Amino acid sequence: MRWLLRLYPKAWRRRYGEEFAALLEESRMTPAVMVDVIRGAFDARLRPQVTGGATMSQFSSRPAIIGFVLLALPSFFLLAVVLKYGLGVPYLFDPLETYLYGPNLHSVRSMLADMLIVFSPVVALLVNLISALRIGLRIERGGLAGTVTMRSSFLSLGAMAVSLALIGVFTAYIISENVAEAAIRRYLGA
């Protein structure tokens, strides 16, 4: 099972590789152990604390930066929509709509744009949650006991808050649009 060691960053392997390889060889490889090792490798890559012998700060800003990059397009799109339909200022929305959707509203580019705008807040939230949550499971007195702890930087918390706000706005919009469309169909059909 030494191949699992390759999932970890090179600096981490230099520092802990021999110890971890010995531990892997001694351990019975169960699905729970494999999941824990893979989660640990993901954590070591998202929040590296060992780089070339130097220790980094406890909280890496990498997940937050990834989150804010993912939130740029949906935030800009929401701003453009509010400016056009809320305040009557079309200067951001019209060029964005032309670029993203072009003349054909059902093109591959428009479908990709819709998916990016709607799902990137979800991905940003997941990236920051995965880097912040620590889940511990153990067997106690014949039962399963677990703990969930969250340790995160303020930047990551900000990315999660913006993600949740955008998810809420888009969900409310999608639901209200479908309810309104169904009401119009009922009215016109009646």
pLDDT digits (tens, 9 = 90+) for 19-53: 888 888 888 888 878 888 888 888 887 776 655 54
Q: Which two tokens stand for residue 120?
A: 């990137």
Considering only CA atoms, which of 135, 147, 131 is closest in space to residue 42?
Answer: 131
For residue 75, the model assigns a pLDDT of 92
For residue 51, the model assigns a pLDDT of 55
Q: Which two tokens stand for residue 12?
A: 């981490």
Neighbours of 99 (CB within 10 A): 10
How far is the C-alpha of 10 from the C-alpha of 8, rounded, in Å?
Answer: 7
120 CB burial (10 A radius; 0-12, 13-18, 19+): buried
Contact 121, 74 (CB under 8 A): yes
